[in-house]
Every structure is written in structure tokens, then in C-alpha cells.
Amino acid sequence: MSVLPEKFLLPERTLVGAGRVKELLAECARYGRRGLLVHGRSLAAHGVLPIILQNNPGGLIMAAWEHVGGEPTLDDLSALLAAARKHRADFIAGVGGGSVLDLAKACAGLFHAAQPPQAYHQGAAIETPGIVFAAAPTTAGTGSEATVNSVLTNNATRQKKSIRDDALLARLVILDAGLLAHCPQRTIAYAGMDAFTQAWEAFTSRHATWLSDCLGLQALSLIGANLEAFYRGASAAAEPLLLGSYLGGLSFCMARLGIVHGICHPLAVRYHVPHGYLCGVCLPHAVELNREVVGPKYAQVSQALGRDLLELIRHLLVALDMSSPFRGQALIEKDAIIQETVGAWSTKANPKTITAADVAWLLDRLFGG
């Protein structure tokens, strides 16, 4: 195994600690005078938005843009881009969950782009670097603050995929566990299982390196030890969970993912099940599928968790009230789901080479009970 990936990127500055989101605008002042703050509904509802905007020691000219909710789409991105260009923003700050961060990130990356977002969603390279992106997550889950991709859905084609470019990486990350204080219980569960899945898939990816393994194993350990506690209300578990999510994000950005993320997108666009929910219910089957191929890594993770990995995952799914959303449902467009899964970017990094029969087996487990 290589020590380092052939290439890896890390955010320029990462601030860690409760209350540090108040430093967001002071930090952003180094990147320009005009900024757009992208956020979700809850930030305004819980009074965090005015606190951020009031802490403006740099005399920045700020505007705010609220994501109305739901999984982010290219239509959302087009509206956000128009607002950011109209404001003549020098930087985009995203404070929110994965959807908000992915939108803010894509907006910053495509700020100077010559083509419409659809072109980059189809794989076109970004010709001109965008503007600075700063990220402060309010959920412990997607790892979006650590990665160079933005997952967006094209409503017209039902395609859910990433815009991926090195230029999308956040320059500034603020990991403030206080931002998780109002996170709904369902979101804690779904985001947490997404983060856990991402860390496992990076740790066992065929592109794993010593560095991504260090990050991924620590992420698994932090998330495994704190997810249920935070779900049950232990606020002290928020920071380790947030750190686990970030480290998992860094690791999968280096090592990529696996079959769970490969099958999630084709299922999400057909069944509209939240991403983290899908990850959680797919994970135990994917671990079974890969167990023989990952060698000592299964035992290594179990040792770090202090418990057998599959036993912990099954326990978490019960504890977080995440039974399969597919049980009893009809499987639609099976051949298309299989084809899209086998061809997915994430599936190609899976430790076991995934065949159509493997995906069919996984679908049987998900839909058959």
C-alpha cells in the first residue's frame, strides 16, 4: 500500500472549537470584502444567522441566501449563482448541512464559469477558477467541508451526480460543535450513518493509502463511539462526531468510496430516500459482500470500535430506528439500477470488483428483507 495518494488536497485553514463560527467573517476578510452567506432555514430560525452577521469586524459587505430545503438541484444552483454574481461576491460562506454546503461549494467553484451548470454536471472541466469557499457544517455527516465534489440532482434527467474539481475545495473550514445543537434527531441518525459509511468505504477502498487509512480509522472510531450518544442527547458527543465526519471526508476525498455510494444515487433518484438513510441500510450488506476481500481490515476496524463491526452496524440501525425503507416495496427499473451502479465512479473503487450479480444480490437483500 502506498504511503500517500498521488495527489491530495487539504483545506488551507481549519478552526476547531465551540463558538468559533463567530470568527467566520473575520476569517473571510482575508479573501475579499463582499461575501454571500448560504444557509438553511434552521440557521435563521435558531438565531445563529444574526450572530454570524453581527460579528463582522472586517466591515464586509454581506448578503445572505437561504436554501429552501431538500436535496440540492441544478435549478437551486442556477438561482444561487445568479444571486452571488449580482452581489459581486469575493467569497461564498456555507453554514449548513450537506445540501447547503454542496450548493455553496458549487456556486463558489462555478462563479466565473462560462457554461451553464449542466455542462459541468455532465463532466466538463471548470475553465476558470472560481472564488473562495468557506464551510461550517451544522450536521456531522456528509464531510462536504472536506471534499472537492458537490452532489447535485438534475431534475430534468433525474440524474444525481457530482460536479468534481480540485477548485471546489474549501479554503476555510470551521468545525463548531455548537452548530449541531439544533440538529433534528433524524438528521443526526442519517448524517451519522453517511459519515460512518464514507469512512468505512475509504478505509477499504482499492485506492486506500497509509494516510487515508489513518484518517478513516480514526473517523470510524470517533463516529462509532459517539453517534448513538449524540442521537440520545449527549451534547458532549457532538464535537468528536463532527471531527469524525471531517476526517472521514478527508479520507474519502483521497481514497474514494465504494458500492454503497455507487448504488445510493440510482436508488435515491427513484425512491427519494435521504442519502444517509440509504447508506445506513445498504452498509451491512455491503460489508458482508466485501468482508472476504478486505482481509485484516475488518478485524482492525472491529478492534478500534471495541466491538464486531457488523454487530455494531446492526445495533446502530436498530438504536437509530433505521429499518429498511424498501421492505415490501416493488423493485422498479432493476436493470437500469444495476447498470448505473456497476458503472458508478464510487463502485469502481470498491475493494471487490462489482458485477451485475453482486448488485442484484444487494437489491435482493434490500427489497426482500
Q: Which is nearer to Fe ion, 194 or 358 (CB)?
A: 194
Strand-strand pairing, 149-154 and 172-175: unpaired
Least spacing, CB of residue 279 vs Fe ion, in Å? 6
Q: Which amino acid is at 63?
A: A
Chain position carrying cell 455491503: 286
Report the C-alpha gap between 283 and 305 in whole angstroms: 16
Q: Which is nearer to Fe ion, 195 or 359 (CB)?
A: 195
Q: Which is nearer to Fe ion, 194 or 228 (CB)?
A: 194
Q: Which is nearer to Fe ion, 179 or 268 (CB)?
A: 268
Q: Which is nearer to Fe ion, 98 or 351 (CB)?
A: 98
**Maximum CA extent, the chain:** 59
Chain position carrying cell 504511503: 3
Do residues 257 and 198 make contact, with C-beta atoms less than 8 angstroms apart? yes
Least spacing, CB of residue 151 vs Fe ion, in Å? 8
Least spacing, CB of residue 9 vs Fe ion, in Å? 19
Least spacing, CB of residue 88 vs Fe ion, in Å? 33
Q: Which three cell numbers stand for residue 234?
A: 449527549
Q: Which is nearer to Fe ion, 84 or 264 (CB)?
A: 264
Write the CB contacts of 127 (distance below 8 Å, at least 6 apart in sequence): 113, 114
Q: Which is nearer to Fe ion, 31 or 196 (CB)?
A: 196
Residues 154-213 that bind Fe ion (CB under 5 A): 194
Task: Please say whether the dihedral angle defined by the alpha carbons of residues 181, 105, 102 and 99, taken in this order, is positive or negative.
Answer: positive
Would you give the DSSP letter of residue 277? H
Would you give the DSSP letter of residue 340? H
Backbone angles phi, psi at 133, to 5 degrees: -115, 125
Do residues 279 and 325 make contact, with C-beta atoms less than 8 angstroms apart? no
Q: Which three cell numbers stand for residue 87?
A: 452581489
Least spacing, CB of residue 302 vs Fe ion, in Å? 22
Report the C-alpha gap between 135 and 245 in whole angstroms: 14
Q: Which is nearer to Fe ion, 27 or 194 (CB)?
A: 194
Least spacing, CB of residue 270 vs Fe ion, in Å? 17
Least spacing, CB of residue 97 vs Fe ion, in Å? 12
Q: How far apart are the first and last CA of the chain?
A: 37
Least spacing, CB of residue 71 vs Fe ion, in Å? 12
Size of the site for Fe ion (CB under 5 A): 1
Least spacing, CB of residue 69 vs Fe ion, in Å? 18
Which residue of the chain is nearest Fe ion when measured via CB?
Answer: 194
Q: Which is nearer to Fe ion, 84 or 99 (CB)?
A: 99
Write the CB contacts of 189 (distance below 8 Å, at least 6 apart in sequence): 227, 231, 276, 277, 280, 320, 321, 322
Do residues 282 and 366 make contact, with C-beta atoms less than 8 angstroms apart? yes
Binding residues for Fe ion, per CB under 5 A? 194
